[in-house]
Structure 1
Amino acid sequence: MTKTLAKVILLTMTTGMAAHGAVTKAAFGTTPDGKAVDIYTLKSDVLQVRIMTYGARIVSLEAPDKDGKKADVVLGHDTLAGYTSDKNTYFGAIVGRYGNRIAGGSFKVDGKAYQAPKNDHGINMLHGGTVGFDSLVWQGREIPDGVEMTLVSKDGDQGFPGTLTAHVRYTLHHNALRIDYSMSTDKDTVVNLTNHSYFNLSGEGNGTILHDIVTIPADKYTPVDAGLIPTGELAPVEGTPFDFRKPTAIGARIHDDNEQLKRAGGYDFNWVLRGPNGETKTAARVYDPETGRVLTVTTTEPGVQFYTGNFLDGTISGPSGKPFVKNGALCLETQHFPDSPNHANFPSTELKPGAPRHSTTTFTFTTQAK
C-alpha cells in the first residue's frame, strides 16, 4: 500500500466517522407512565443542538457570539421531570395537532362539527388540547445530519378527525437548524404544527429580550379579541406598535397604550407574511446588540406568531440556575393562522387523504458587530 493511498483511506475513514459522529443518541429518562425518552445531540462546526423524543423538543441550542463564545440560547429544563411537570410553557416542543388557538375548541370539517378540549382557561383550545403533541413520546430515528421524529395520532385524538401521521425532521448544516414537517391523514382533518422554542440570544436566563432589535417583513397582522382569538381582520401594521418592517427594539413600544398589547400583556400575535403560502420567505430577524448574535428565521408557512414571554414570571429556572423572568425570551412560531378553521378568509389548514402537506422552517445563526 502506498503512502498516498493510505492517506486517502485514512481521510475517508476520518470523514466518515466525523459525519457519523455528528449525531449521537442517549437515554434521557422515563416518563411518569413508564415510557423511555431518548435525546439526540446534533453537532456542526458552528452549532450544537439537543433534541429529545418527549414532545420532539429542542432542549438546548448552543451558538457562538461575536467573540466566538458559545452559549445555550433557548429556554428549557435540565431534567425530563422538569418537562413532564411543566404544563404551561411548551419549551422547545412541537405543538399540535393544532398549534395556537381554536375558538371554543370547536370547528367544522366537511360540514361536520368537532369539539376539542377547552384547555385555555376553559374557553378555547390551545396547542392541541389537554394532551397535545408536546406531551407525547415521539419515535426518533437518526438521519444524515439530524434526526427524524414520527408520531401517529389516532382518529378522535383530542376530538380531531382522522389518523394523522406526522414526521418532523431536524437537520443541522453549518450555522442553520432546519425543520421539515410532513403530515398525512386517512380522513379529512385540520392540522397546524409548529415549534415552540423560546430564544434569548444573550443566553438562557440572561435578562430580558426587550433590547433585541427585531425585523418582521409583514404588512399586516391578525388582531385578537379578549380571549386572544383572531377577529378575522387582516389589519395593517402601519402606524401601530406592530410595525416591525424596519429594525425596532422590542421594548420601544411594548408598553404603549394599545388595547391589543394590553390584551396579550405584550406581543403575542400572528403576522401575515409576504409572499405565497408554500414559498420560502423571511419570517423574522432578531439582533442582540450585547452579544452580536443574529437569528434569522425563514419559512414556507404563511404566518409567524411573535411572542415575548409575557407569562414567564421568574418561578422557573433553567439549567444555569437563573430564573426565567417576564420577557426573558421570545418565540417565533412559524404557522398557519390561529383559529383558521373558523375563518374562511385565512389560509386553509385542512388536510385530506392522498394530499400530504410539507413545510420548512430554518433558524440561521450569524453575528454582527455593533
Structure 2
Amino acid sequence: MIENGRVTTHAVFGQLPDGRDVQLLTIGSEPGPVVEVLTLGATVHRLFVRGGDGVRRNVVLGHPDVAERLASSDYIGGTIGRYANRIAGGHFELGGRTVEVRTHDGGNSLHGGPDGFDVRLWDVVSHAADELVLSLVSPDGDQGFPGVVSVKVRYRVTGNAVAVEMSATTDATTVVGLTNHAYWNLDGEGAGPIDDHLLAVDADEYTPVGATGIPLGEHKSVAGTPFDLRSPAPLRAGFDHNFVVRGEGLRRHASLSSPRTAMTVEMWSDQPGLQVYTGDMLDGPRYQRRAGVALEPQLFPDSPNHPEWPSPVLEPGETYRSTIEWRFSS
C-alpha cells in the first residue's frame, strides 16, 4: 500500500514446509531507500535506491521464493547468528569447559551452523512506515551453543540511509556475533559481475587465513598486497577475508561505488572487523560467480579461540549490540 508516497507493505511471501507463513515487510519511501525484509531469516530481500543516472533499482541479491531460499547455502541477505564467520573445528573454551558446536564448512562452524538464524522464522515485534523490528529466541543448546539467547533486529530508514541495529541477551554465558549478509550489486540485481565496482576499505591490516578460511593467528599489513584497499580499487581480485577497521565506535568501514550507475554506498558500523566476500563461490541457479559482493561488519573470525581479540563472550545481565548503516549517495 502507498499513501502520500509512503510504502507500508505487509504481505505473505510464501510458506515454509510446515505451513507457516513467511511475511514480506516493506519500509521507506521514495525518493529515499525502500527496503523489503522477509521474516524468514530477518532477510533483506530487495533494496531500491536511485543512482546518479536517475534510475531506481534494486541493489541487493535475493531469492524469488521460499523454496529457493531454503535450498541455498549462500546466506543471501540474511541475519547471521549465533556467531558470524567461522569457528575452527567447531569448538572453543568457555568458562573452563570445551563447547562443541555443529560444523558444516570444511570441518568448521560457519555463520552459526547449518541451521543458523538466516533460515529461522522471526517474529514481527513492530512495523511502521520507516521502521521494522523482528525478534527470535534461540534455545539453550541451539547448534551446540549454550544459553537461551533472545535477539532483536531493527531496520530503520532515515533520509538516504538504512540502519540495521542488532541486540541480544542471554541467560547463560555464551558467545554471540551477529551481522547482515547482503550481497551488493550497484548496477542492479542480476546485472552481471561486480568486477568494475570500486571498493575502499578503511583498514591498514587484514587477517590471513588458511585453506578453510580459519585465521592463521595474526593480522598483517595490507601494504604491498592485493588487500590494500585504502584507496578505491576495482574488484578484480577475489576476497573472503577479514579487514581490521581503523578506530572504534560507529565509523566508516568501506565505500562501494559503481561507475556505471554513478551510485555509492558507504558501510558504517561499530564492529572491529569487516569481512569482504566477492562471491567467488556463488554457483546457484540464479546467481553465478561474483554476482554480488558481501560487506559484513562483525567480530573477527574464530574470535572464540583468540582471547587476545575483541571478545565475543556475552554474560547474563549484559546486552550485545551491533549497528550497521548503509549510507547512499550519487
Q: Please, what TM-score do these two structures have when normalized by structure 2?
A: 0.96
Q: 2:23 corresponds to which residue? A: 38
4+ long deviations beyond 6 Å:
none
Structure 1 residue 272 displacement after superposition: 0.5
The structure with the larger Rg is 1
Contact 2:24-2:38 at 8 Å conserved across structures: yes
Among residues 342, 350, 362, which one is paired with 2:313 in the alignment?
A: 350
How many pairs does the alignment contain?
A: 326
* SS of the residue 1:285 aligns to: strand
1:301 is the counterpart of 2:268: no
Deviations 1:46-90 (A, max 9, x none): 11110010000000011111122111111111112221222x111
Q: How far, CA to CA, are the matches of 1:344 and 1:231 in structure 2?
A: 14
* SS of the residue 2:143 aligns to: helix
Amino acid in structure 2 at the alignment position of 1:23: T
1:198 is the counterpart of 2:170: no
Among residues 277, 281, 287, which one is paired with 2:251 in the alignment?
A: 281
Structure 1 residue 143 displacement after superposition: 4.1
Q: 1:212 corresponds to which residue? A: 197
Q: 1:139 corresponds to which residue? A: 123
Q: 1:336 corresponds to which residue? A: 299
Amino acid in structure 2 at the alignment position of 1:31: L
Deviations 1:14-50 (A, max 9, x none): xxx659x543211111101222211101122311110
Fraction of identical pairs, as percent: 41
1:235-246 matches, within 5 Å, as 235-246=220-231
Among residues 107, 110, 113, which one is paired with 1:129 in the alignment?
A: 113
* SS of the residue 1:81 aligns to: helix
Contact 1:211-1:250 at 8 Å conserved across structures: yes
1:364 is the counterpart of 2:324: no
* SS of the residue 2:132 aligns to: strand
- More displaced, 76-85 or 162-171? 76-85
1:272 is the counterpart of 2:258: no
* SS of the residue 1:209 aligns to: coil
Amino acid in structure 2 at the alignment position of 1:345: E
Contact 1:232-1:345 at 8 Å conserved across structures: no
Q: 1:51 corresponds to which residue? A: 37
Which one has the bigger strand percentage?
Answer: 2
Among residues 53, 77, 94, which one is paired with 1:109 in the alignment?
A: 94
Amino acid in structure 1 at the alignment position of 2:182: S
Q: How far, CA to CA, are the matches of 2:207 and 2:75 in structure 1?
A: 22
Structure 1 runs not aligned, ≥5 long: 1-16, 255-265, 318-323
Contact 2:178-2:322 at 8 Å conserved across structures: no
RMSD (CA atoms)? 1.3
Q: Please, what TM-score do these two structures have when normalized by structure 1?
A: 0.86
Q: How far, CA to CA, are the matches of 1:242 and 1:208 in structure 2?
A: 19
Amino acid in structure 1 at the alignment position of 2:51: D
Q: How far, CA to CA, are the matches of 2:75 and 2:11 in structure 1?
A: 22
Contact 1:23-1:142 at 8 Å conserved across structures: no
Q: 1:75 corresponds to which residue? A: 61
Q: 2:84 corresponds to which residue? A: 99
Which one has the bigger helix percentage?
Answer: 1
Q: How far, CA to CA, are the matches of 1:316 and 1:72 in structure 2?
A: 19
Among residues 291, 311, 319, which one is paired with 2:281 in the alignment?
A: 311
Contact 2:176-2:320 at 8 Å conserved across structures: no
Among residues 181, 205, 211, which one is paired with 1:226 in the alignment?
A: 211
Structure 2 runs not aligned, ≥5 long: none
Q: How far, CA to CA, are the matches of 2:309 and 2:18 in structure 1?
A: 39
Q: How far, CA to CA, are the matches of 2:16 and 2:276 in structure 1?
A: 31
Q: How far, CA to CA, are the matches of 1:224 and 1:142 in structure 2?
A: 40
Q: How far, CA to CA, are the matches of 2:171 and 2:226 in structure 1?
A: 43
Deviations 1:134-153 (A, max 9, x none): 11100013344211110000
Amino acid in structure 2 at the alignment position of 1:250: L
Among residues 62, 70, 82, which one is paired with 1:84 in the alignment?
A: 70
